[in-house]
Structure 1
Amino acid sequence: MTSTIKNLTVQELEDKAIEIRKNLCTYIYRIGIAGHLGGELSVIDMAVALYYKYMNYDPKNPNMPERDRLILSKGHCAEALYTIYQDMGMYTMDYMVDHFESLETAVFSMHPNRKYIDAIEASTGSLGHGMPIATGLALGARMSNENWRTFCIIGDGELQEGTNWEAFMTAGHYQLGNLVAIIDKNDLQMSGPTGQTNSIDPLDAKMRAFGWDVIEINGNDMGEVCAALESLPPSDPIIRRKPICIISNTVKGKGVSFMENVVGWHAGQLNKEKWEEALESIENTRKVR
């Protein structure tokens, strides 16, 4: 990653998040099918901070051995990552539209596929399986004496899946300090409020009980996102210390007023009117400098 990207300020990252949100809505509008916009919009701030500043990552060489790994366990939110890849120059918007779930030329789909997209570390979307993969990667880095870090973005509804807790227990046992779990806690899932479907709280106490350090933030406040990522100790495969969990409290549908905290926008399609309304709503969140 170039130093220019790494040196982005909080304000520049905020503006970039607005740009990515607008491009994401345009992408969903253009492909003409339902996207999981609610959870994609909630995680944008964290994803932007990681890709544009805090991960060791080069979009021109997505397979470089020393890169940090990001596992998107909430794989149904893959379009958020596709939009970032497009912005970083890896693909054009036209190419991503033309190759979305087409019968003969599919590359991009509702869930990310490592077979077709080099930047994707693991094919995910069968919820609850990203964290076990991330734990294995972190343990593998230790065994190989490699300094890269593994990040895993998890939806809060996913935490109702037992495989996550097996992975949390294993990571805590091995003290994988090179592993960071980021829980996008927007409190809604497809069937309704997470707390009513199957409560995961008190999440901070549970993570600490499994041997993790916990940082809790407003995940839609770029200043808090950057402060959390800045506070991470250097990644070291040998030093044994607690893995780190960032509980990122977010708003489902963040930035689009008619989507915010609306369970019906777990997944949805945008017609021209709603697309234009979404772009205007996102632009209205831009701060006056």
Structure 2
Amino acid sequence: MSLQILNKYISSVKLRTHVLNMAKNGNSVHIGCAFSLIEIFAVLYEGFVSMDPNDLNHSERDLVCLSKGHGVMAAYSCLFELGFLDEVHLTNYFSNGSLLKGLSDSHIPGIEVSGGSLGHGITVATGFALAIALKKQNRKVICIVGDGEMNEGSIWESLLFIAHWKLKNFILIIDANQFQAMGRSSEVLNCESFKDKLDAFNFETWECDGHSRKELKLVLDSAYSSNIAKPKAIIARTIKGKGVSFMENNNIWHYTRLDETTYKQSIAELREI
């Protein structure tokens, strides 16, 4: 089968349910930072990324690089909904011998970079974008970072390099959920205004509601269709823990594990966004 863009609606409820099930099954953390990514991944895979459903390693595929590797349950959930992972993978998440780890792992088809050391994934994505440009291929490189991750110097070195080489096939998405592991991003190390900085770094930049599929589709399409010879950046304003009231903007859910009560409460609250 040739490369194609999948036109399939991916349910936010299903994706968040898979995240909760994985976290419960694996007695693992990072629920809040996966929830802020849900709509971003859904929109990318349901109508933007070009791939071969029969070969996730196709040499001319678009690349989705999750530099914010601790949010990987959102990516795994999406890959499962598209049929690229099996139920057993979600059931055995984060268990001994499991295929799926708690951080993004490039050995898994559909996961392009290994993430966990923040600021690392974007450097790999930068290399991908340069190689694609040198080969004159028509392929998109989408790199997803967190707003806390923007504290890393390797992020800004990569952005300088990307802009210098005018890698217009590169799309940066900042999951700006206002938190990082140890607190509010604005209090740990304030990097705002992202838009002003990215504009100054010679990126073409948009901001949107990162939970609005309509807005995400609009800015992604605008970025892809732009004729300006600049790399692109999208600041997606999101809510950490989006979808469960007691998790939203509550940074304790960066490292808190589910018990039977909070699992059932979370499942009961989920609604389509």
Give TM-score scaled by structure 2 length: 0.94
Task: Name which of 41, 64, 67 aligns with 2:58.
Answer: 64
| 5+ residue gaps, structure 1 | none
> Do the aligned residues in 1 keep the contact of 2:5 with 2:50 (CA within 8 Å)?
no
How far apart, in 1, do the equivalents of 2:16 and 2:188 lie?
A: 28
Are positions 1:106 and 2:98 aligned together?
yes
Distance apart, 1:164 and its partner CA: 0.3
Task: Deviation per CA, 1:243-268: give whole Å up to 9, x if none.
Answer: 00000000000001110000111132
1:277 aligned residue (262, 265, 268)? 265
What is the match of residue 193 of structure 1? 184
Match of 2:120 in 1: 129
Q: Percent identity?
A: 32
Does structure 1 conserve the Cα–Cα contact (< 8 Å) formed by 2:40 and 2:216?
Answer: yes
Deviation at 1:119, TM superposition (A): 1.6
Within a 5 Å distance, the mapping from 1:82-121 to structure 2 comes to: 82-98=76-92, 100-102=94-96, 105-115=97-107, 117-121=108-112
Opposite residue 114 of structure 1, the aligned amino acid is S
Q: Verify the 8 A CA contact 2:89 2:100 in the aligned structure 1.
A: no
Residue matched to 2:20:
25
* 2:32 is aligned with 1:44: no
Q: Which amino acid in 1 is paired with 2:36?
A: S
Deviations 1:107-158 (A, max 9, x none): 211112223x122111111001111111111100011121111000000000
Q: SS at the partner of 1:151? A: strand
Residue pairs, 1:83-232, within 5 angstroms: 83-98=77-92, 100-102=94-96, 105-115=97-107, 117-232=108-223
Distance 1:170-1:5 versus aligned 2 partners, 3 A rule:
closer
Instruction: Give the letter for the 1:98 counterpart.
Output: N
Residue ranges of structure 2 left out of the alignment (5+ in a row): none
Give the Å deviation of 1:99: 5.6
Q: CA deviation at 1:18?
A: 2.0
1:250 aligns with 2:246: no
**Structure 1 residue 210, shift from structure 2 partner:** 0.7
> What are the Cα deviations for residues 170-225 of structure 1, in whole angstroms up to 9, with x where unaligned?
11111110000000000011111000000011111001111101100010111111
Note the aligned Cα RMSD (angstroms): 2.1
Give the AA of the match of 2:20.
C
